[in-house]
Chain A
Amino acid sequence: MSTQRMTRAQVPMEEMILAPGSTCQGCGAAMAARLTFKVLGPNLIRHGIPCCPDQVSKHPRAGAVFEGGGASLTGTARGLKALGRTDVKAVGFFGDGGTYDIGFQGLSAAAERNENILVITKDNEAYMNTGGQRSGGTPKYAETTTNPVGPNSRGKSEPKKNIPMIFAAHYVPYIATASVAFPEDLMQKVKYAKDIEGFRMILIQSPCPVGWRFDPAKTVELARAGVQAGVWPLYEIEHGTTFKLNYKPKELKPVSEYLKPQSRFRHMTEVEVNEIQASVTANWQRLLKADEMKTVVL
């Protein structure tokens, strides 16, 4: 667990990205990339698979197919080990499609082998690069281009895949969730994960103004609302057991504050909002209990 907290004064001033990138206005993934690579510094080989353009960084970059994220990272990590370059890290910066769905088997296998890699996922909760098709990361009732709302459809009918817990159940050294609205927390986690040996993964919720359909100025506001409502809790899990909840408000905000500004949820009725509220509250109670015991049962 990362014990200290990074302060704003400790945030590195040097930019590792080559801005402006080709993202949309107010892109959460661009924020995530900027903050992440600020902490990681220059000594890494960046791996990418098809995903939204976030930010070009000043690193050597390897590209692979959607399914090949875990495999290509493995190759680089093993190669670096053979060369004795422990100072250079193999880092993957993937989207949610490449982590939750298409890239899952390769990453799962890499996690099971406990490869010495760092995987960072910017989770914008759909295939936003191709126009916003549903993914395993899309939450329940969200409208996407493949889940249009109509007489027989209420948006996506399945809940979001609980991918941090799934990867934690591989008993890997480090899993963490982060949000662009809490940059110090995010950067502390990246800094901590950087020097751990073995498979580590950080999932960053990065709102997408185009796909979630809200005003680009509200990207951070919405990400913050998501964390404060308990929809996207911030926690760390080590070796699939040790658990720590990083953000514990005395009282959660209602989920409607998170759902309402997003037009992808605008069709939701009160009953449906209450259903989401109930599942979020139940999940939060479980997390609080795990935090109290400092361990999570998987």
Chain B
Amino acid sequence: MHGRGGQGAVTASRIIATAAYEEGKYSQAIPMYGTERRGAPLTAYVRIDDRRVRERELVHNPDISLCFDPLISLQQAVANDLKPHGQVLLNVPFSPEKSELAGNINIATVDATSIALETLGRPITNTALLGAFSKATGVVKIESVEKAIKKYFPGRLGDMNIAAVRKSYEKVSPWVPAKNKVAPKMQVDLNVGGYGTLKDVSSWRVFYPVVDEEKCIGCKTCWIFCPEAALEWKENNKPAMIDRACKGCGVCANECPVKAIEMKRVEGA
């Protein structure tokens, strides 16, 4: 399972494992520990079997790969270690025929970000992908997924998440074999671990700030509060986003006294 911190990949791994357990199977949910942060790419694993599982290692060659993030869904790295005829379920707004992922794999897609925004109001895509997972792979029944979700999210939050599951159960595309068979040589490494300065975090954001220069009064409030120094102060006394530095937190738009900054959804995210 590939996702970003805050999208709930780790919770999703627990929900799937719990759902499989509810059906009488043996299951494990394993988060990959490192310096996970909200917005940074991360991985979690699930192992399911009819017999007791003695192995405790991370899953290096999975049967199924799930991608919770639209931009990570475009990276070849998510499909590389799959077994032959492995399945990749992507969160992207287009059909599986259009995916560029290569290898002896099958691809299915669902627009989980839109489903999450519709049902939860926030781009937390984990449950919005689980319905699709249940339908497309048949590993766990949707009833068990709902049961597991109720366990993790009691009350109203659970109902909202179950609505997301049902919606994605209906909307997932059928499996399509990947059109490219050979993986490209140039690949992006998904691991962005550790401390320090990062080169480019433009893929972290779901929303990005757009400045209305007519409305802007040049008070520097957005600039002073930006945690990443991602707003450049231009010579005409107006701010501009630095593409590689903005993580899309939305503090600038929230603090602007004249509401001259609007957070727009990144296309394809």
Contacts and interface: CB of A to CB of B under 8 A. Distances in A.
B255 A20 contact: no
B247 A25 contact: yes
B208 to A, nearest CB: 12
B249 interface: yes
Given A21-B196, A216-B251, A27 B227 contact: yes
A65 interface: no
B35 A129 contact: yes
Contact of B227 (A11, A18, A30, A129): A30
Interface stretch (B87-95, B176-184, B228-236): B228-236
Interface string B225-269: 111111001000000000011111111011100000001000000
B164 interface: no
Nearest to B247: A25
Interface residues of B, number: 39
B220 interface: yes
A82 interface: no
A11 B226 CA distance: 14
B39 A25 contact: yes
A197 B192 CA distance: 41
Contacts of A35: 224
- Which interface residue of A17, A219, A221 has the most chain B CB atoms within 10 A? A219
Given A17-B229, A20-B201, A53 B35 contact: yes
Interface in A207-224: 209-210, 215-221
A293 B56 CA distance: 64
Contacts of B37: 22-24, 53, 210
A217 B244 CA distance: 19
Contacts of B227: 23, 26-28, 30-31, 34, 219
Counting contact residues on chain A (CB < 8 A from B), the size range is: 20 to 34
Contact of B224 (A8, A27, A210): A8
Interface string B5-48: 11000000000000000000000000000010111100000000
Nearest to B204: A25
A56 interface: yes
A20 B250 contact: no
Contacts of B38: 24-25, 209-210, 216
Contact of A22 (B40, B220, B226): B40
B245 A19 contact: yes
A297 interface: no
Given A8-B220, A26-B250, A217-B249, A19 B196 contact: no
A19 B228 contact: yes
A183 interface: yes
Given A8-B219, A56-B196, A21 B228 contact: yes
A13 interface: yes
A15 interface: yes
Interface of A: 8, 11, 13, 15, 17-28, 30-31, 34-35, 53, 56, 129, 180, 183, 209-210, 215-221
25 contacts: A15-B229, A19-B197, A19-B228, A20-B198, A20-B228, A20-B244, A21-B196, A22-B192, A22-B195, A22-B198, A23-B228, A24-B6, A25-B6, A25-B249, A31-B226, A53-B37, A56-B195, A180-B225, A183-B225, A216-B251, A217-B249, A217-B253, A217-B263, A219-B251, A220-B255
Interface of B: 5-6, 35, 37-40, 192, 194-198, 200-201, 204-205, 219-220, 224-230, 233, 244-251, 253-255, 263
Pairs of residues from A and B, 9 with the lowest C-beta to C-beta distance, nearest first: A217-B250, A26-B249, A30-B227, A24-B38, A25-B249, A216-B249, A19-B229, A217-B254, A20-B245
Given A53-B195, A220-B255, 11 more contacts: A19-B230, A20-B197, A21-B196, A22-B37, A22-B195, A24-B5, A24-B38, A27-B249, A31-B226, A34-B227, A56-B195
